[in-house]
Structure 1
Amino acid sequence: MTTVAAYAAPAANAPLERTTIERRAVREFDVLIDIKFAGICHTDIHLVREGWGEAIFPMVPGHEIAGVVSEVGPGVTKYKVGDRVGVGCLVDSCRECDNCKAGQEHHCVRGAVQTYNAIGRDGEITYGGYATHVVVDENFVVRIPDGLSLDVAAPLLCAGITTYAPLKQWGAGPGKKVAVVGLGGLGHVGVKIAHALGAEVTVLSQSLRKKDDGLKLGADHYYATSDPKTFEELAGSFDLIVSTVSAPLDLSAYLGLLKTGGALVNVGVPEEPIAFHPFSLIGGNKILAGSMIGGIPETQEMLDFCAEHGIGAEIERIAASEINQAYERVLASDVRYRFVIDNATI
């Protein structure tokens, strides 16, 4: 075991504080990663504050990890010391079920092991990226292409794959009209990716406050959902809508924006249940779906795609001592568009 510095929440709703944690010794197929940057995801806040249910404490959040390999186990073949790598939302799975064999480890039927707030298959609690180092099996590590800076790449390990996966699955591309609901940590990356895929992209946001940003990021159109005329004007317009917000929406209204056979895919997760009228779904054979990150192969595909198209997150780098303040700013939508911790400050 190795003792490393970290920032942890000692209990639910408690401020995060500097502490130390134990990382396991490097096993045969493990890599030790010197974490350079860790993104702050809204999921971190949901879990620290038990918005999605009971959690494990003390908790070291962080599943947007970018760093450099500093040690490898004797059986490692994919990475060497000095490689630029990332770790996303999961660090293990059964590797035997049909989903795992198909590269869909996040849908492991026996349960994927999350990067933090989970119990690993060794019985130990997992701790995330708000730390100086992490030890991960090589099969759950991805390579960060040279064309991406580590700081702007870190949020792609969650925000990037979370938006890339549904855009690819539901055919975003030339000739398709795609709407992204919310221009936040997830949404701004989704806009960039949808644009790079060749789709006609519309941002649907509560107000026009971020319109200039949205258009610069690649959106073709930008509408305020607080204006009822938006839903009248855009009725039946979209092949695909990706909702990135963690607030409850009027799903019936958004389903009305879809073309016949169109899909509304939720990647944001509100803390409250959402209701909708079934007629808004069956009228027009519409699809209401969900999407949760992606497997390891698709995460690597996403990183390669982003490097090819010059896509990184829009970030504000912070010191670890600013994490608690950053959480409050995320809740106030006061970030454009992703906080990234400089882990050298831990």
Structure 2
Amino acid sequence: MTSGTTINAYGVMQAGGPFKPYQVEVGDLGATEVELEVLYCGICHSDLSMIEDEWGVSKFPIVAGHEVIGRVLAVGEQAGHFKPGTVVGLGWNSGYCETCHYCRRGDQNLCAEARFTTLTGGGFADKVRADMGSLVVIPEGVDLVSAGPLLCGGITVFNPLIQFDIQPTAKVGVIGIGGLGHLALMFLNAWGCEVTAFTSSEHKRTEALSLGAHKTLNSRDPEEIKSASMSFDFIISTVNVNLDWDLYIQALKPKGRLHFVGAVVDPIQFTLFPMIFGQRDISASPVGSPAAIETMLDFVAHHQIRPQVEIYPMSQIEEAFKHLKSGNPKYRIVLSRE
């Protein structure tokens, strides 16, 4: 068992407050815990939501950061299969109950007792601790600098491909070309699908084509969307704003699915009859299980997929979050300790 240690972090003391250097004293390493040296940590919009307590679950002081690429420093007595020096990833969850029905069948991401990394001590720090069951080894061939966003944004858009058995012959639409959407385009193109990007930004239409889209449609132009009526097997929405969802439902083929991974806070509205007569589905999902993350990382390594990231030193975390708030990152931000 490893004795306690001091974690040097960047914490937020109150909702919406600035980042400040913050030391956390932690006790002995638990039997199933692993301590990591943080190498890189992505910044996700969910981190912003947590430090501003938009969801009402944050506890202050808070050390956020849940897209961690780290090197194993020490392991608990039951976590010896993680060897010191191994590079691993830690995402949204830092641990699971491991005993509920969902954990036992491999759906740990649905565990009601799952622990949020941002609430147990996240990756905006020099070290982080997590339960061994939440960690995944980063396979050879995955770029470590840009890998952090895969552990949240990446798995969020990859998980539905597995859950709904999306076929490589499917025609798929992606709403929103940002942190999530740009990854969805790359994944779906490599998956073999015919990919259409929905975006309201003219300059992003060109970028979408370079990222893997075969076609683009204006997400704010009703007539343009109507022109694609009954075209798609699957549409994935990565945006956090309400749109005219009836238009997108009507763009689905019979038995098609509109799937949400972007967090729209306000209630969504849609007309039921097109759902009934077309036997269409509406669904949503969070991040994936550790096994799903491992599958995604193997897929990424095989297809040499890299999130598009902007790099900031960890010491410039305040500037990095200002850039995030500006809405202009292309497309994810990563903090580096190297």
Question: How far apart are 1:314 and its partner, in Å?
Answer: 0.7
Quick one: which of 216, 229, 239 aligns to 1:235?
229
Q: Indicate the residue corresponding to 1:159 in structure 2.
A: 153
Distance 1:20 1:99 in 2: 35
Aligned length: 335
- What root-mean-square deviation, in Å, do the aligned CA atoms of Structure 1 and Structure 2 show? 1.6
Distance 2:264 2:320 in 1: 20
Asked whether 1:58 is paired with 2:61, we answer yes
Alpha carbons 1:208, 1:222 under 8 Å: kept: no
Distance 1:161 1:23 in 2: 30
**Aligned AA (1:317):** I
Alpha carbons 1:35, 1:129 under 8 Å: kept: yes
Distance 2:234 2:319 in 1: 35
Question: How far apart are 1:331 and its partner, in Å?
Answer: 3.3
SS of match in other structure, 2:133 = helix
Question: How far apart are 1:54 and its partner, in Å?
Answer: 4.1
Q: Indicate the residue corresponding to 1:78 in structure 2.
A: 81
Quick one: which of 330, 333, 336 aligns to 2:324?
330
Question: How far apart are 1:278 and its partner, in Å?
Answer: 2.0
Question: How far apart are 1:333 and its partner, in Å?
Answer: 2.2
Alpha carbons 1:207, 1:226 under 8 Å: kept: no
Distance 1:204 1:78 in 2: 44
Q: Indicate the residue corresponding to 1:42 in structure 2.
A: 45
CA 1:272–1:17 in structure 2 vs 1: closer, same or farther (change >3 Å)? Answer: farther
Segment drifting more, 236-245 vs 44-53? 44-53
Alpha carbons 2:300, 2:306 under 8 Å: kept: yes
Distance 1:247 1:329 in 2: 20
Distance 1:167 1:64 in 2: 21
**Aligned AA (1:149):** D
CA 1:63–1:136 in structure 2 vs 1: closer, same or farther (change >3 Å)? Answer: same
Distance 2:261 2:23 in 1: 33
Alpha carbons 1:7, 1:19 under 8 Å: kept: yes
Quick one: which of 302, 313, 318 aligns to 1:308?
302
Q: Deviations over 1:150-208 (max 9, x none)?
A: 11111100011101111222233321001111111111111111111111111111122
Quick one: which of 1, 12, 18 aligns to 2:15?
12
**Aligned AA (1:107):** L
Written as runs of structure 1 = structure 2, the 5 A alignment for 1:112-127 is 112-117=114-119, 126-127=120-121
**Aligned AA (1:151):** V
Runs of 4+ aligned structure 1 residues displaced above 6 Å come to: none
Alpha carbons 1:23, 1:135 under 8 Å: kept: no
Distance 2:318 2:223 in 1: 38
Question: How far apart are 1:234 and its partner, in Å?
Answer: 1.2
Segment drifting more, 280-289 vs 80-89? 280-289
Asked whether 1:132 is paired with 2:126, we answer yes
Q: Indicate the residue corresponding to 1:170 in structure 2.
A: 164
Distance 2:71 2:128 in 1: 10
Written as runs of structure 1 = structure 2, the 5 A alignment for 1:133-282 is 133-282=127-276
**Aligned AA (1:12):** A
Percent identity between matched residues is 36
Alpha carbons 1:28, 1:74 under 8 Å: kept: yes
Written as runs of structure 1 = structure 2, the 5 A alignment for 1:86-101 is 86-101=89-104
Distance 2:248 2:86 in 1: 44
CA 1:230–1:322 in structure 2 vs 1: closer, same or farther (change >3 Å)? Answer: farther
Alpha carbons 1:24, 1:135 under 8 Å: kept: no
Question: How far apart are 1:304 and its partner, in Å?
Answer: 1.2
Quick one: which of 262, 281, 285 aligns to 1:287?
281
**Aligned AA (1:304):** D
Task: Show structure 2 runs of 5+ residues with no match.
Answer: none
Q: Indicate the residue corresponding to 1:31 in structure 2.
A: 34
Alpha carbons 2:237, 2:259 under 8 Å: kept: yes
Task: Show structure 1 runs of 5+ residues with no match.
Answer: 118-125
Question: How far apart are 1:226 and its partner, in Å?
Answer: 2.1
Segment drifting more, 297-306 vs 163-172? 163-172
Give the TM-score normalised by the residue count of structure 1.
0.92
**Aligned AA (1:80):** K
CA 1:163–1:146 in structure 2 vs 1: closer, same or farther (change >3 Å)? Answer: same
Asked whether 1:320 is paired with 2:323, we answer no
Question: How far apart are 1:101 and its partner, in Å?
Answer: 0.8
